[in-house]
């Protein structure tokens, strides 16, 4: 009996829909993790990732886990632990959503003295917020920030932040799980020291691999560490032996089919070209947003700092999260995401990313939401969501 998996249309915050070619790539024969042909695949993946991260960082690899493994790897390699014999060097975490909250947890578990500065969920940080914190708290060696918050749909402007961080003698860690491949991520231009992502959002591959890039400055700090990184699995120096150099050595096994799928996804990113891909995410995300607004959703992210392709929005008054999402899943075979944290039960997270950034995904979903709204006695005029989206498409033909 084959495994039962309905062909869900994935329009939540990830995983995003993958193309038949990406699925097909996984049927290539499994190779061993030190096979010369597998090493070539690893090299090609690294080369694509450098282009998409817009970096020359030699250390641009995959962590063998989901996006969250990338987060943990970036943080535990770079943070300093609390010390009882010398003055503490601290980790500053910019918190404005669920995933930045997770960073606090990871850093604390790893023994860091964490300073969390907070903004309301839905807002972005200004460079000045970070400058003030660095001046006030002193002795901060690592600053972490989320480029695109999957819990709120906030896109963090990155210009000007690294200079402030570097001037204070710290390193900058950036989460781009949601942004990489969907919107500009310019690691070198922005001066980011560690950036990580996940395979399953705008890279349009299945979940399970976490791209990670580290600057020369970050690698230098890791090489100078007195104590080894707390984790063998996430240790950048171990990953380096497996990913770089002419003679590769064993670190862990490799989930070969996921590598094949990601490589196929990366080749598709390359073929489309980054500017066209970003424009596509903006366009279809914008149409989705217009349709949702017409249905009475209110956006969590301020409009000037919104992720183009992931919309976190409060449900209209009277709309029951669980019933409506379940109806969409059952009647339209489509997944949308629920709210996280303070927005649990109150908001939805809807993505138009990767293969989901497509008119033929956006319009049917808007129709579906409208239908279940009407069936559940939420007052909306039939056709209004599609019409608002169509109007957006008319106005944005790029």
Binding mask 100-119 for its own copies (x = CB under 8 A): --x--xx-xxxx--------
Sheet holding 140-146, edge to edge: 60-63, 210-214, 194-196, 171-175, 140-146, 90-95, 113-118
CB 233 within 8 A of CB 252: yes
Min dist CB 249 to its own copies, Å, is 10
The binding track of 369-388 with respect to its own copies, each residue x by CB under 8 A or -, is --------------------
Question: In this structure, what is the dihedral angle of CA atoms 303, 308, 314, 319, given to the nearest 10 degrees?
Answer: 140
Binding mask 12-41 for its own copies (x = CB under 8 A): x-xx-xx----xxxxxxxxxxx-xxxx-xx
Q: Which stretch binds its own copies (CB under 8 A): 6-14, 156-164, 366-374, 381-389?
A: 6-14
For its own copies, which is the closer residue by CB, 28 or 314?
Answer: 28
> Which is closer to its own copies, CB of 11 or CB of 145?
11
Calpha distance 183→338 (Å, rounded): 23
Measured CA to CA, the distance from residue 51 to residue 74 in angstroms comes to 19
Binding track over 300-339 against its own copies, x by CB under 8 A: -----------------------------x-----x----
Minimum Å distance from CB 22 to its own copies?
9
Contact 114, 90 (CB under 8 A): yes
State the minimum distance, in angstroms, from the CB of residue 199 to its own copies. 9
Of 18 and 290, which CB lies nearer to its own copies in the complex structure?
A: 18
Q: How far apart are CA 126 and CA 129, in angstroms?
A: 5
Min dist. Cβ of residue 65 to its own copies (A): 5
Give how far Cα 371 sits from Cα of 30, 174, 313, 338, 374, Å: 44, 39, 18, 18, 5
* Other beta carbons less than 10 A from residue 223's beta carbon: 10
Question: Which parts of 165-204 interact with its own copies (CB under 8 A)?
Answer: 198, 200
To the nearest whole angstrom, how small is the minimum distance from the Cβ of residue 13 to its own copies? 9
Q: Report residue 125 as tokens.
A: 């940080």
| Cβ closest to its own copies, residue 7 vs residue 275 | 7
127 vs 207, which CB is nearer to its own copies?
A: 207
Please identify, among the stretches 11-19, 127-135, 183-191, 307-315, the one whose residues bind its own copies according to the rule CB under 8 A: 11-19
Instruction: State in angstroms the smallest separation of the CB of 346 from its own copies.
Output: 16
Beta strands in the chain (DSSP E): 9-10, 60-63, 90-95, 113-118, 140-146, 171-175, 194-196, 210-214, 298-299, 310-314, 334-335, 337-338, 347-351
Choosing from 49, 67, 146, 349, the residue that interacts with its own copies (CB under 8 A) is 67
Rounded Cα distance between 263 and 257, Å, is 10
How many other C-beta atoms can be found within 10 angstroms of the C-beta atom of residue 216?
A: 12
User: Does residue 326 sit in helix, strand or coil?
Assistant: helix
- Binding footprint of its own copies, residue count (CB under 8 A): 74
The nearer residue to its own copies, 116 or 279, going by C-beta atoms, is 116
Cβ proximity to its own copies, 129 vs 335, nearer residue = 335
Q: Write out the two tokens for 205.
A: 């591959």
Choice from 42, 48, 53, 65 touching its own copies (CB under 8 A) = 65
Q: Which member of 340, 368, 369, 389 binds its own copies (CB under 8 A)?
A: 340
> Residue 26 Cβ, how far from its own copies at the closest point, in Å?
5
Find the binding residues for its own copies in span 222-261 (CB under 8 A).
228-233, 235, 250-258, 260-261
Structure tokens at 348: 């939805």
Minimum separation from the CB atom of position 157 to its own copies (A):
26
- Single out the segment in contact with its own copies by CB under 8 A; choices: 68-76, 216-224, 277-285, 293-301: 68-76
As a whole number of angstroms, the distance between CA 308 and CA 1 comes to 41
Nearer to its own copies, 264 or 370 (CB): 264
Q: How many residues does the chain have?
A: 398
Question: Does 62 sit near its own copies (CB under 8 A)?
Answer: no
Before 15, cis peptide (omega within 30)? yes
- Residues in contact with 88: Cβ distance below 8 Å, sequence separation at least 6, in sequence order: 80, 82, 113, 139
């Amino acid at each position: 009996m084959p495994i039962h998996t309905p062909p869900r249309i994935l329009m939540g915050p990830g995983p995003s829909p993958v193309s038949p070619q990406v699925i097909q790539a996984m049927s290539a024969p499994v190779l061993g993790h030190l096979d010369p042909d597998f090493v070539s695949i690893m090299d090609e993946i690294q080369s694509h990732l450098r282009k998409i991260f817009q970096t020359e960082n030699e250390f641009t690899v995959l962590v063998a886990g989901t996006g969250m493994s990338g987060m943990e790897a970036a943080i535990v390699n770079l943070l300093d632990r609390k010390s009882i014999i010398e003055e503490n060097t601290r980790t500053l975490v910019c918190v404005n959503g669920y995933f930045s909250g997770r960073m606090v947890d990871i850093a604390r578990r790893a023994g860091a003295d964490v300073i969390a500065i907070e903004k309301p969920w839905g807002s972005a940080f200004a460079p000045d917020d970070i400058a003030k914190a660095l001046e006030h708290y002193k002795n901060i060696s690592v600053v972490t920030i989320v480029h695109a918050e999957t819990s709120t749909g906030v896109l963090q402007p990155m210009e000007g932040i690294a200079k402030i961080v570097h001037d204070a003698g710290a390193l900058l860690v950036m989460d781009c799980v949601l942004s990489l491949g969907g919107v500009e991520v310019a690691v070198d231009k922005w001066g980011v020291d560690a950036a990580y992502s996940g395979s399953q959002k705008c890279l349009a591959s299945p979940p399970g691999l976490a791209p990670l890039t580290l600057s020369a400055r970050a690698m230098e700090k890791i090489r100078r560490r007195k104590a080894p990184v707390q984790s063998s699995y996430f240790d950048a120096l171990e990953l380096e032996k497996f990913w770089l150099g002419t003679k590769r050595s064993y670190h862990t096994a490799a989930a070969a089919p996921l590598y094949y799928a990601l490589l196929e996804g990366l080749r598709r990113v390359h073929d489309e070209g980054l500017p066209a891909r970003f424009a596509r995410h903006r366009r279809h995300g914008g149409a989705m947003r217009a349709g949702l607004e017409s249905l009475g959703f209110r956006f969590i992210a301020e409009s000037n700092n919104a992720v183009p392709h992931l919309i976190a929005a409060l449900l209209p008054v009277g709309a029951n999260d669980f019933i409506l999402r379940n109806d969409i899943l059952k009647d339209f075979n489509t997944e949308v995401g629920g709210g996280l944290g303070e927005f649990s039960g109150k908001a939805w997270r809807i993505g138009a990313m990767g293969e989901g950034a497509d008119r033929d995904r956006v319009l049917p979903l808007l129709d579906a939401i409208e239908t279940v709204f009407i069936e559940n006695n939420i007052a909306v005029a039939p056709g209004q969501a599609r019409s608002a989206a169509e109007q957006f498409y008319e106005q944005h033909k790029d």
